[in-house]
Structure 1
Amino acid sequence: MSQAPEELSYARSHEWARLEEDGTVTVGISDHAQDALGDVVFVELPEDGAELAAGDEAGVVESVKAASDIYAPIGGTVIATNGALEETPETVNADPYNDGWFFRLKPTDTAELEQLLDAAAYRQHCSEDS
């Protein structure tokens, strides 16, 4: 079973969200998603300043097997992107929950995090998805 850290919230589309101490939200894709994709070779990130609603397409991740859209798990303004992924997209495979993060949002409403899955519900979702 793929890792799903307990402190994160998860979208059914396999993005994770972590509420940071400063009130921002960091977003990436889950271990399950990167494992299903295989070796990541390219990541397209949203523009800084982009306004996203929950469920909006925020970028693309491409692997040797497939390309997949990345969606915003909650709404907000993009305040940072992980530019290191442009040079080393394989970081998503090696460390999806830390160095492999995609972007940070200033959330419109942190209550949207409550609409996401907790780790146990996400693991259940993944087992049904397989």
Structure 2
Amino acid sequence: MSNIKYTPDHEWVQIEADGIVTVGITVHAQDALGDVVFVDLPAVGSSFEAKEVAGVVESVKAAADVYMPVAGEITEVNETLRDDPSLANSDPLKTGWFFKVKLSNPAELDGLMDSTAYDELVKNS
């Protein structure tokens, strides 16, 4: 089983230890956006419900909301990404992560897509 899940809104969720997940935008999302020039990240300690807007990513073409894939509390944000938003383009699945979340309800992860289902979604969109 992979430790990465996907949302229909093009966020990825990497399952870490101790009920923490790392969240970022997918390769498809950054391709659609173009060159990312600004990210607005949530405050550490703030809590969100699943599907709430937790941040914003702006590119030369558009601005897009970053949705909270699961309910939880923000435990860390990627300050390096804030300083260098282009990491969302150059390395969206590693150094371009957005924030880390302490899960409120780990069962919500079961509602997210695996890579096969996400690839089908992108292919058919």
Which amino acid letter does the alignment assign opposite residue 16 of structure 2?
E
The structure 1 segments of at least 4 consecutive aligned residues displaced by more than 6 Å after TM superposition are none
Q: Secondary structure at the match of 2:44?
A: coil
User: Aligned residue for 1:36?
Assistant: 32
User: Aligned residue for 1:45?
Assistant: 41
Distance 1:55 1:11 in 2: 10
User: Aligned residue for 1:21?
Assistant: 17
Residue 123 of structure 1, CA deviation = 0.5
Residue 59 of structure 1, CA deviation = 0.4
TM-score (norm. length: structure 2) = 0.96
Residues 1:127 and 2:123 aligned together = yes
Identical residues among aligned pairs (%): 48
Residue 22 of structure 1, CA deviation = 3.0
Residue 87 of structure 1, CA deviation = 1.3
User: Aligned residue for 1:3?
Assistant: none
Residues 1:81 and 2:92 aligned together = no
Residue 7 of structure 1, CA deviation = 3.5
Residue 23 of structure 1, CA deviation = 2.3
Which amino acid letter does the alignment assign opposite residue 67 of structure 1?
A
Residues 1:101 and 2:100 aligned together = no
TM-score (norm. length: structure 1) = 0.92
RMSD: 0.9
Residue 55 of structure 1, CA deviation = 0.2
Which amino acid letter does the alignment assign opposite residue 75 of structure 1?
A
Q: Secondary structure at the match of 1:113?
A: helix
Distance 2:3 2:102 in 1: 19
Which amino acid letter does the alignment assign opposite residue 61 of structure 2?
K
Aligned residue-pair number = 124
Which segments of 5 or more consecutive residues in structure 1 lack a partner in the other structure?
A: 1-5
Which amino acid letter does the alignment assign opposite residue 51 of structure 1?
S
Which amino acid letter does the alignment assign opposite residue 52 of structure 2?
D
Which segments of 5 or more consecutive residues in structure 2 lack a partner in the other structure?
A: none
User: Aligned residue for 1:55?
Assistant: 51
Q: Secondary structure at the match of 1:123?
A: helix
